[in-house]
Chain A
Amino acid sequence: MRWTHWINFPVLTIMIWSGMLIYWANDEYSITIFGHTFVRFFPEWYYKLLHIPSHLAEGMAFHFLFMWFFTLNGFFYVLYSIISGEWRYLLPNKQSFKEAWQVLLHDLRIRKTAPPQGKYNAAQRIAYTAIIIMGLGSVITGLAIYKPVQFYWLTWMCGGYHLARIWHFVLTICYVLFFLVHIIQVILAGWNNFRAVVSGFEVVNEQPQPAVKTTKENEEA
């Protein structure tokens, strides 16, 4: 988990960056409701700040190399989760959706108590499973716009070439939002939690339990 996490971080960063180099060449997306444009992807100053314009070819070259690392890394993560049984802690279960709401209220300081949790709480289960599905979604929509003739069935599944490109873009925006919340949560969770993701161990302070005394009745039985 740790390994794939820390491989994914730089790889995804490069994918998003090179993706923006590609997107720039046809930057037609914006959020417009009833004729009013709220957000335009992206404003001119943003492009200038990140030196994005006129690097389409370079962006594609990087994107089509790092797509391999992104996909393979995701594949190994899923494989590991299945073989190690880690998926049991990660997949949401029946109560997760109800509990996730409670976790959300608790995190927003609206509710005083959080529901009991295992290694991951219900909201984490949903978020960490969703991010894997999103990763798969990026690979599928990516392939759909990369080889729309050869993978015509994938493109069809995504609602056509035009829509597939939009999905691919929306997923990227969702990664950025995930990242922001993720970083806030990591900071709030503190040092011990962060160390665990780097080193693989967590420090748990436990009060020594009194040893169970054997009684005569037990010995006789």
Chain B
Amino acid sequence: MKKPKEELTTDQKIRRRTFISFGLFGLYAAGAYGAWRWLYKSPDEPLTVTGGAHKPLRKALNKTEIFFRRLTFNENHLVKTYPKEMAAKNVRHNSDIGSEGVLPPEKWNLQVTKKNGQVMQISLDQIKEIPKTELVFDFKCVEGWDQIQHWAGARFADFIKHFGLDEEAKLDYVGLETPDKQYYVGIDMPSALHPQTILAYEMNDKPLQGKHGQPLRLIIPVKYGIKNLKRIGSMNFSNTRPRDYWAEQGYDYYSGL
């Protein structure tokens, strides 16, 4: 025989509901904490062109890149430019990995590997034949600082046209490396072809000096400073991501602004 269910008193109801609620709340808190521990302790990704980040976080970075590239990247979105007078006289630099000391421009050539494997040797004078583009903009470092700087050189898109690299520019990425291969970056082609991306050989109206990446460096305002490779030695094109110095150390590969 079943005992007829007794009506619960109000106090019992309150206690019961409080117990259930706090039980669920405790479960939620434990679950959230567990999920956090899992994520925080998750192993690093294996080293490929990227490295140094927790595996799930790298996945998230790559997905987020796709989202923002599709939704927001537009070559007509230009970085804000400033009058020359506002440019810093004392231009900040962080590191000179791969671009220490002085490399006389006459002893330097840019090596461009074409799709068919042919290697072009391009001198600085040849690059200077391309109409000069000047840019005064707010340079942004991944660390969080920014500074208005004045650069000049050949627009990357003009460079492609001038040297007949249109077929190469149809590939997804361009890879740039310093002559000693110590520092290297990979850039997605839409960012490289952005009208404000330049191969710079002048800063503040003078040829590049000292630690600023002479004789030729990349200035790409749609990326953080870490992608603005100093002293470009070689250039190659591919449909897969070229290796990237900072992406190997846990930073976002895209690092787009």
Mark B202-244 against chain A: 1 for CB-CB distance below 8 A, else 0: 0000000000000000000110000000000000000000000
Verify B14–A56 contact, CB threshold 8 A.
Answer: no
B50-80 CB contact bits vs A (8 Å, 1 = yes)? 0011100110110010001000111001111
Contact between A149 and B250, CB atoms less than 8 A apart: no
With A25-B143, A57-B53, A149-B221 given, is the CB distance from A6 to B28 under 8 Å?
yes
Please count how many residues in chain B sit with their CB below 8 Å of the partner chain's CB atoms.
Answer: 43
Q: Which residues of A have CB within 8 Å of B78?
A: 149, 152
| 0/1 interface trace, chain B 93-137, chain A, CB 8 Å (1 if under) | 000000000000000000000000000000000000000000000
Given the known A-B contacts A149-B257, A152-B77, are A198 and B146 also in contact in the complex, defined by CB atoms under 8 Å? no
Are B18 and A199 neighbours in the complex by a CB distance under 8 Å? yes
A61 engages B80 (CB within 8 Å): no
Residues of chain A within 8 A (CB-CB) of B189 are: none
B257 touching A26 by the CB < 8 A rule? no
CB distance from B20 to the nearest CB of A (A): 8
Given known contacts A61-B58, A147-B72, A198-B21, A22 and B32 CB-to-CB distance under 8 angstroms: no
**Cβ–Cβ < 8 Å partners of B182 in chain A:** none
Closest to A153 in B: B77
Q: Does A200 contact B (CB under 8 A)?
A: yes
* Interface size, A (range): 35 or more
Q: A26-B143, A147-B68, A152-B77 are in contact. Are A58 and B138 (CB under 8 A)?
A: no
* Residues in B whose Cβ lies below 8 Å from that of A58: 53-54, 57, 250
List the A residue with the shortest CB-CB distance to B52. A57
Q: Does B179 touch A at the CB level, under 8 Å?
A: no
Whether A148 contacts B61 in the complex (CB less than 8 A), given A60-B252, A161-B146, comes out as no
Q: How many Å lie between the Cα of A198 and that of B27 in the bound state? A: 12
Query: Please, how many angstroms separate the alpha-carbon atoms of A161 and B139 in the complex?
Result: 10
Which residue from chain A places its CB closest to the CB of B249 in the assembled complex?
A57
Partner of B222, one of A14, A26, A149: A149
Shortest Cβ distance from B256 into A: residue: A147
B17 and A201: CB pair below 8 A? yes
User: B60 to A149, Cβ gap below 8 A?
Assistant: no
Binary contact readout A49-67 vs B (1 if CB under 8 angstroms, 0 otherwise): 0000000111011101100
Note all chain B residues with C-beta closer than 8 A to A23: 144
Nearest B residue (CB) for A26: B144
Task: Report the minimal beta-carbon distance from B226 to chain A, rounded to whole angstroms.
Answer: 10
B38 interface contact, C-beta 8 A: no
Binary A-proximity of B123-166 (CB < 8 A = 1, otherwise 0):
00000000000000010111111100000000000000000000
- Our pick among A10, A57, A65, A203 for the contact of B251 (Cβ within 8 Å) is A57
CB pair A198 B58 closer than 8 Å: no
**Shortest distance between the CB of B198 and any CB in chain A (Å):** 15
Chain B residue contacts of A111, Cβ below 8 A = none
CB distance from B75 to the nearest CB of A (A): 10
Extra 16 A-B pairs, beta carbons < 8 Å, given A162-B138, A165-B144: A6-B28, A26-B143, A26-B144, A56-B143, A57-B53, A57-B249, A57-B251, A58-B250, A61-B60, A147-B68, A148-B140, A149-B77, A150-B72, A150-B257, A152-B77, A156-B80
